[in-house]
Amino acid sequence: MRSVCVIGLGLIGGSLLRAASTSGRTAWGAAPGDDASGALADGFSASSDLDEALRRAASEDALVVLAMPLPEVDGVLARVAELAPECRLSDVVSVKEPVARSVRRAVPGARYVGGHPMAGTSSSGWAAGSASLFDGAAWVTTVDERTELEVWRDVASLALDAGAHVVPVSTAEHDDAVARISHLPHVFAAVLAAVGADGGPLAMALAAGSFGDGTRVAGSNPELVRAMCEGNGTRLLSVVDDALGRLGAARGSLASTGSLAATLKAGHHGRQSLDAARAEPRNGVRVDLRAPDASDGLAAIGARGGRITALDGDIALGELP
Amino acid sequence: MRSVCVIGLGLIGGSLLRAASTSGRTAWGAAPGDDASGALADGFSASSDLDEALRRAASEDALVVLAMPLPEVDGVLARVAELAPECRLSDVVSVKEPVARSVRRAVPGARYVGGHPMAGTSSSGWAAGSASLFDGAAWVTTVDERTELEVWRDVASLALDAGAHVVPVSTAEHDDAVARISHLPHVFAAVLAAVGADGGPLAMALAAGSFGDGTRVAGSNPELVRAMCEGNGTRLLSVVDDALGRLGAARGSLASTGSLAATLKAGHHGRQSLDAARAEPRNGVRVDLRAPDASDGLAAIGARGGRITALDGDIALGELP
């Protein structure tokens, strides 16, 4: 099992250091301040010395995983370029194209495969993490033309060890999908929370399930949410326009005929798609990573809603809906 | 304890029949088809004979509670007008002005106090109900100029027996508040679910907490949601416009400067208002129901985010933030 060097020990990086260590890997982390001291106090290998962590990664050919908000990625990549310029590199940042672009520019020799575990809570920091955070979660791994499947396998293996299943997708498809199912929900939660609170203390006293659920993620650290959403700004803008179109249509129908039938029917149908995706029986699939079209085969599995659930040597085993 | 006649035995009416019976009241219900037979099979007093249930209510001076979707209220009120024209009357419909208007028109002699328990699940029908559905929930009771406080006390007492706390408010304030914290969340969930599902199987496979929470209520029966939202159409329209304005502002800011700071900050602040309302320590308050300004006193408690938690003879005891 390949060693792992986690840079950034907040909720996601801290959970990854725990999960990697628990699975028996050699794993160490670096982070500024409280996160590193928290990890150390809990018995993990951690320090605030980024350079030392990267030097060790270079000498042990470890997989380096970047686990900081997008605005901090470029600063860390500058150190990677100097100390581990040809390392195996991944990340857990929630948007993939901006990270891939930064890596190409700053560390062109890095063997990079993007990652994004679809897990989290509304808390942040080392103390909020847990080795089981990724249990049952989808862990996106990017597969593009230039992807080295040997490194893809390193990343997939780490994700599987952490309890996740692996969803291989192209960078562009990932960023479009998360604009819809992660970034727009954060924008909607914020708008809903603000309109609700405008109703004053009575509205807050009456708020129950639908408002509580619909605004839950507005409780997250707004600076982290901002970094995530703004990092995917171009794609998010197009999805916000879709949402404005649908909300405007609901408004028009309510004003003219008093009906919300079309809006509510489409929403119910959409929610049923989610339930169906979660419940669907799955058919086995396998990809030989040595085959010339292996990258395309992996990306097609993700695009169809499938997943990789195990690795057996050079064979990736998975499921399709 | 006053006897209770529940008309409609779906999720809410069925839970109320259970809760009223469990608290030791004489309680019976009427509903069409499966809901009545389900209630009977579970050992409750229920039938499909609406007229008989209303005749008994008139002869025993029971509190009649209407528990059907808004579009069915007028049909039932026509029977109430004939068989129990001066009854004590309440309801659990999620919008209050349309019900109050129908009652004034169809049963002008009824002693009506509107009600709305803020509880539910995404399921419906007798089988989905439970005697504990209202535990810890807010139960709105309308207090307006013409409200008879003797009947208000009947309704409040029933709500308290069912495990809820009572929020007295004016009809208009209720309908504005629920447009914000219940009906808009349903519209938002529908729009979000539709935009997400447009992302295809990959988007559904990656959907996790934020999308799942934000679309949960889109899983509810869309016909019931439609009746609820459309019944409050005028107020909902104005709240949808607020939301369109905020979402449009987010869109403009994202397009021009790339920033979502203002949107996310306002949303975080709104969500903190909800958390504060739930956590706030409360100060005792009491209202003498015989006092000439008792109605105003009750409505002021609701408007300030307060609640009634007990009745002691003619004294209503409660809490204010």
User: Which residues in chain B are contacts of A95 at CB distance < 8 A?
Assistant: none
Q: Is residue B78 over pLDDT 80?
A: yes
Q: Is residue A281 over pLDDT 80?
A: no
- The model's confidence at residue B279, banded by pLDDT at 50, 70 and 90, is confident
Give the chain B residue whose CA is nearest to the CA of A214: B214
Return the residue in A191, A238, A265, A307 with the most chain B beta carbons within 10 A, the one to mutate for interface testing: A191
- The model's confidence at residue A208, banded by pLDDT at 50, 70 and 90, is confident
Return the residue in A274, A278, A298, A308 with the most chain B beta carbons within 10 A, the one to mutate for interface testing: A274
Residue whose token pair is 């016909």: B223
Is residue B149 within 8 Å of residue B292, measured between CB atoms?
no
Question: Which residues are paired to B116 by β-bridges?
Answer: B140
Q: Do A202 and B118 touch (CB under 8 A)?
A: no
Q: Do A247 and B248 touch (CB under 8 A)?
A: no
- When pLDDT is averaged across residues A117-131 and rounded to a whole number, the result is 89
CA distance B218 to B94: 17
When the pLDDT of each residue in chain B is averaged and rounded to a whole number, the result is: 95
Nearest to B305 among A181, A205, A210 (CB): A205
Q: Is residue B281 over pLDDT 80?
A: no
- The model's confidence at residue A282, banded by pLDDT at 50, 70 and 90, is confident
The CATH number corresponding to A4-169+281-320 among 3.30.1330.20, 3.20.20.150, 3.40.50.720, 2.30.30.90 equals 3.40.50.720
Q: Is residue A120 over pLDDT 90?
A: no
CA distance A97 to A231: 9
CA distance B240 to B230: 12
Per-residue pLDDT at A117: 96
- When pLDDT is averaged across residues A186-211 and rounded to a whole number, the result is 95
Q: What is the DSSP letter of A62?
A: P
Q: Do A188 and B214 touch (CB under 8 A)?
A: yes
How far CA B35 is from CA of A288, B75, B212, in Å, comes to 56, 18, 30
Q: What is the pLDDT of residues A175-195, one digit of tens each?
A: 999 999 999 999 999 999 999
User: Which residues in chain B are contacts of A251 at CB distance < 8 A?
Assistant: 237, 240-241, 244
Closest-CA distance, B156 to chain A, in angstroms, reads 16
Return the residue in A92, A182, A232, A273 with the most chain B beta carbons within 10 A, the one to mutate for interface testing: A273
Q: Do A187 and B236 touch (CB under 8 A)?
A: no
Closest-CA distance, A256 to chain B, in angstroms, reads 11
Q: What is the DSSP letter of B182?
A: I
Q: Do A246 and B167 touch (CB under 8 A)?
A: no
Per-residue pLDDT at A279: 80
Return the residue in B143, B238, B271 with the most chain A beta carbons within 10 A, the one to mutate for interface testing: B271
Both tokens assigned to A308: 């990789």
Nearest to A210 among B185, B201, B275 (CB): B185
Q: Residue A93 CA to chain centroid, in angstroms?
A: 6
Q: Do A137 and B208 touch (CB under 8 A)?
A: yes
Return the H-helix or E-strand segment holding B197: helix B184-197
- What type of residue sits at position A285? V
The CATH number corresponding to B4-169 among 1.20.1050.10, 3.30.70.1380, 3.40.50.720, 3.30.750.24 equals 3.40.50.720
Give the chain A residue whose CA is nearest to the CA of B117: A206
Nearest to A190 among B176, B181, B266 (CB): B266
Q: Do A254 and B268 touch (CB under 8 A)?
A: no
Per-residue pLDDT at A127: 95
Beta strand ranges found along chain B (DSSP E): 4-7, 27-30, 46-47, 63-66, 88-91, 111-112, 115-117, 138-142, 165-169, 283-288, 307-312, 315-320
Q: Do B214 and A219 touch (CB under 8 A)?
A: no
- The model's confidence at residue B277, banded by pLDDT at 50, 70 and 90, is confident
Per-residue pLDDT at A82: 98
Backbone torsions φ then ψ of A243, nearest 5 degrees: -65, -40
- The model's confidence at residue B114, banded by pLDDT at 50, 70 and 90, is very high
Provide the pairing of β-strand B111-112 with B88-91.
parallel
Q: Is residue B122 over pLDDT 90?
A: no
Per-residue pLDDT at B287: 96
Provide the pairing of β-strand A307-312 with B115-117.
unpaired
Least confident segment among A25-34, A64-73, A219-228: A219-228
Per-residue pLDDT at A124: 85
Q: What is the DSSP letter of A279?
A: H
Return the residue in A183, A204, A224 with the most chain B beta carbons within 10 A, the one to mutate for interface testing: A204
Q: Is residue B121 over pLDDT 80?
A: no
User: Which residues in chain A are contacts of B137 at CB distance < 8 A?
Assistant: 208
Question: Which residues are paired to B6 by β-bridges?
Answer: B29, B65
Break chain B into its structural domains and give their ranges: 4-169, 175-248
Q: What is the pLDDT of residues A158-181, one digit of tens each?
A: 999 999 999 999 999 999 999 999
Per-residue pLDDT at A155: 98
Q: Is residue A249 over pLDDT 90?
A: yes
Per-residue pLDDT at B210: 92
- When pLDDT is averaged across residues B9-15 and rounded to a whole number, the result is 97
Per-residue pLDDT at A232: 95
Nearest to B210 among A185, A203, A266 (CB): A185
Q: What is the pLDDT of residues B240-259, one digit of tens each?
A: 999 999 999 999 999 999 99
User: Which residues in chain B are contacts of A220 at CB distance < 8 A?
Assistant: 268
Q: What is the reported pTM?
A: 0.86
CATH superfamily of this structure's domain B175-248: 6-phosphogluconate dehydrogenase C-terminal like domain (1.10.3660.10)
Per-residue pLDDT at A224: 87
Closest-CA distance, B104 to chain A, in angstroms, reads 23
Q: Do B196 and A269 touch (CB under 8 A)?
A: no
* CATH code for the domain defined by A175-278: 1.10.3660.10
Q: Is the dihedral of CA A215, A218, A220, A226 positive or negative?
A: positive
The B63-66 sheet, strands edge to edge: B46-47, B27-30, B4-7, B63-66, B88-91, B111-112
Q: Is residue A267 over pLDDT 90?
A: yes
Complete DSSP assignment for B273-285: HHHHHHH---EEE
- When pLDDT is averaged across residues A1-9 and rounded to a whole number, the result is 96
Residue whose token pair is 């149908």: A269
Q: What is the pLDDT of residues B23-70, one digit of tens each?
A: 999 999 999 989 999 999 999 999 999 999 999 999 999 999 999 999
Q: Which residue has the higher pLDDT, A292 or B120?
A: A292
Per-residue pLDDT at A5: 98
Q: Is residue A18 over pLDDT 90?
A: yes
Q: Which residue has the higher pLDDT, A154 or A208?
A: A154
Task: Give which of A119, A115, A175, A128 is closest to A308, Cα–Cα.
Answer: A115
Is residue B259 within 8 Å of residue A183, measured between CB atoms?
no
- The model's confidence at residue A277, banded by pLDDT at 50, 70 and 90, is confident
- When pLDDT is averaged across residues B97-112 and rounded to a whole number, the result is 97
Least confident segment among A150-164, A203-217, A278-292, B288-302: A278-292
- When pLDDT is averaged across residues B263-285 and rounded to a whole number, the result is 90
- The model's confidence at residue A258, banded by pLDDT at 50, 70 and 90, is very high
Closest-CA distance, B140 to chain A, in angstroms, reads 8
